[in-house]
Amino acid sequence: MADDFYLFANCHFIPDKYDDWQAAYDKLAEYVWANEPTTKTYYFGIPLDYAHDFSKTTSMLAFEVYGTRDDLYKTHLSSPAMSPFLAQTPQTTICGLDLNHYRLLSGFLDLSGDKTEAGIIHQTQITCTDSAARASLVPLLKNLIAGVEKQEKENGGKSGVLTYMGFECLDDETGLRILGRWKTREDMEAFLRREDVSKFWSEARNLVRAIDQRGFVPNGKGWLHR
């Protein structure tokens, strides 16, 4: 996992065009699953705003994992199935590919190993004040994640934490990202109020310029891992 190439992508839809985009994606995913073993994760979240009706969503988060950068750009985006998919996206989206590249700092994607589906996904994008601040924040984040993983393994996953991962942005020198998945929203809310999580944010306060947080629900497509 540590050597894999991580991608967070934002899909922005023309209102009421999500279903058309999804139909085109379903054909692409069938090809990718059968022919691209280096596309290790293909996982999607709909904003909580539209949890009641996916068809009306105007955006979606894509979390993807590849073996290497070339597996994304030379294999996946250049595949025979990608061209017809991309040809259809101008009719369903309001902008082109919005891609953000990361490397894994620490964490776990599937604690139990059984691909339990999440009730909620939560991501936090952190913009540090400068590169030096990010360098200072990284060990604090890794320490938090290590503690979470240790505790979850000791309690048998009873806290409902399915995924908790920290990433460093490869596109700039100030970005970090945290991705979490929980069995229920109640599990997530309890987690966010844990003492170790609060302590991390207290220590990070002077190192951070901006934070963007958002919750999602899985759309039931793609795969968490092979």
Identify the CA nearest to 58 among candidates 6, 107, 16. 16
Q: Which residues pair with 161 in a beta bridge?
A: 182
Distance CA 126, CA 88 (A): 33
Q: Which residue has the higher pLDDT, 156 or 25?
A: 25
Q: In the chain, where are the structural domains located?
A: 5-100, 103-220
Q: Which residues pair with 7 in a beta bridge?
A: 64, 101
pLDDT digits (tens, 9 = 90+) for 65-111: 999 999 999 999 999 999 999 998 899 999 988 999 999 999 999 99
Question: Residue 35's CB: how many other CB atoms inside 10 A?
Answer: 13
Question: Residue 15: what pLDDT?
Answer: 97
Question: Residue 9: what pLDDT?
Answer: 96
What is the percent of the chain where pLDDT is above 70?
100
Tokens of 8: 């967070």
| Least confidently predicted of 49-53, 134-138, 151-155 | 151-155
Mean pLDDT of 36-62: 97
Tokens of 73: 């750009």
3-state SS class at 179: strand
Distance CA 82, CA 74 (A): 11
What's at 130, amino acid-wise?
D
* CATH number for the domain whose boundaries are 5-100: 3.30.70.100
Question: Residue 96: what pLDDT?
Answer: 84
- Cβ contact 60:11 at 8 Å: yes
pLDDT digits (tens, 9 = 90+) for 118-141: 999 999 999 999 999 999 999 999
CATH T-level fold of 103-220: Alpha-Beta Plaits (3.30.70)
Instruction: Give, for 148, the enclosing helix (H) or strand (E).
Output: helix 131-154
Those residues with Cβ within 8 angstroms of residue 110's Cβ, 6 or more apart along the chain or in another chain? 116, 162, 163, 224, 225
Distance CA 217, CA 117 (A): 10
- Cβ contact 160:183 at 8 Å: yes
Tell whether pTM > 0.85.
yes
Question: Residue 176: what pLDDT?
Answer: 98
pLDDT digits (tens, 9 = 90+) for 194-220: 999 999 999 999 999 999 999 999 999
Distance CA 119, CA 223 (A): 15
Distance CA 215, CA 187 (A): 13
